[in-house]
Amino acid sequence: MKKALLTLTALALLATTAQARSWEDIKKSGTIKIATEGAFPPFNLLKGKELTGFEVDLANQLAKQLGLKVQWVTQPFDSLLIGLQQDRYDFVIASHGITPERAKAVDFSNPHYCTGGAIVSRVGGPKTAADLKGKTVAVQVGTTYLDNVRKVPGVKDVKTFPKDTDAQAALMAGRVDAWVGDKFTGLDLVKAQKGKLVAGSLLFNESIGMAVKKGNAGLLKELNAALAKSQSDGTYAKLSGQYFGTDVRCR
C-alpha cells in the first residue's frame, strides 16, 4: 500500500514537471538554467567554486546575448541528458557528440564545435587503431569514445571511468595501455605530461552540440540564433582562439 502511494506521488510529480520551460517562460523569468559536467577540461571545468572552460564561457556569452542571467548546474556526465528529460534545467552544454542515438532522446542545436576522438598512450605504447589489438583502453563512461573503441577489432579490454580525468590517471599510472578521448584534451594532456605521453591517431570525427528537451523548438531556435551571431560577429572566434589557438567551429 505504502509502495503504491509512493509510486503515485512520483508519477504526479513527474506530471507536474513534465513540461520543459518554453522560450517565453525562460525569457519571462530572466534566468536560464544550464547544465554541464565540470570535469572535462578545457571545455567545462569546476575549479574550486569557479566554473570555467570554452563551453562555459560560450554559454555565458550566448545567454548574455539573449538577455538572460545564468544559473549553472553541474552533475555527472552520464546523467546530464536524463536530467534534461526531467526538466531539471533548460539545456545542456557538455561536449555531447551529435549521434543518431542521442538525437532520439533530445534535440541538438547546430554544432558549437567540431572535434574527434584520439588515442593517447605512454611513450612506446599503441598509436593507431591497429596497435590497439590486444590492448587495454581507458575511456569515460557514456561517451562516444566508448562506442567507437568497442568497434575497433581485437581490443582486449575497455575500462570505463566515471570521469575522463580518471581515465587519464589510469593511463598515467600504467593501469591501461591507452586512453581515448577528445583530441584537444589529448593535446593538453600530452603537453602537461611532456616526454611521458604521446598523441596517437584520430579514431573518429564528431560534431558537438547543445541539447534541449525533445520538442523544445522555441529555445533551440534562440540558441541557434545566438550561436550564429557569435560566430559572425567575432565573439566566437576570439573565445576559441583563447582556448585552442585556433577556430574550432565546424566547417
User: Where on the chain is the footprint of ligand ARG (CB under 6 A)?
Assistant: 37, 40, 44, 77, 94-97, 140, 143-144, 164, 182, 206
From the CB of 74, what's the least distance to ligand ARG, in Å?
10
From the CB of 181, what's the least distance to ligand ARG, in Å?
7
From the CB of 66, what's the least distance to ligand ARG, in Å?
23
| CB of 133 or CB of 150, closer to ligand ARG | 150
From the CB of 3, what's the least distance to ligand ARG, in Å?
36
| CB of 96 or CB of 112, closer to ligand ARG | 96
Output the CA torsion sign for 83, 88, 92, 95: negative
| CB of 23 or CB of 119, closer to ligand ARG | 119
Hey, how many other C-beta atoms are within 10 angstroms of the C-beta on 142?
17
| CB of 39 or CB of 223, closer to ligand ARG | 39
| CB of 23 or CB of 155, closer to ligand ARG | 155
From the CB of 136, what's the least distance to ligand ARG, in Å?
20
For residue 221, how far is the Cα from the chain centroid?
A: 20
Please state, in angstroms and rounded to a whole number, the distance separating the CA atoms of residues 3 and 106: 31
For every residue of 101-160, DSSP letters joined together read: HHHHHEEE-S-SEEEEEEEEEETTS--STGGGBT-EEEEETTSHHHHHHHTSTTB-EEEE
- Exposure letters 110-134 (e unless 16+ CB within 10 A, then b): bbbbebbbbbbbbeebbbebebbee
Please state, in angstroms and rounded to a whole number, the distance separating the CA atoms of residues 243 and 251: 18
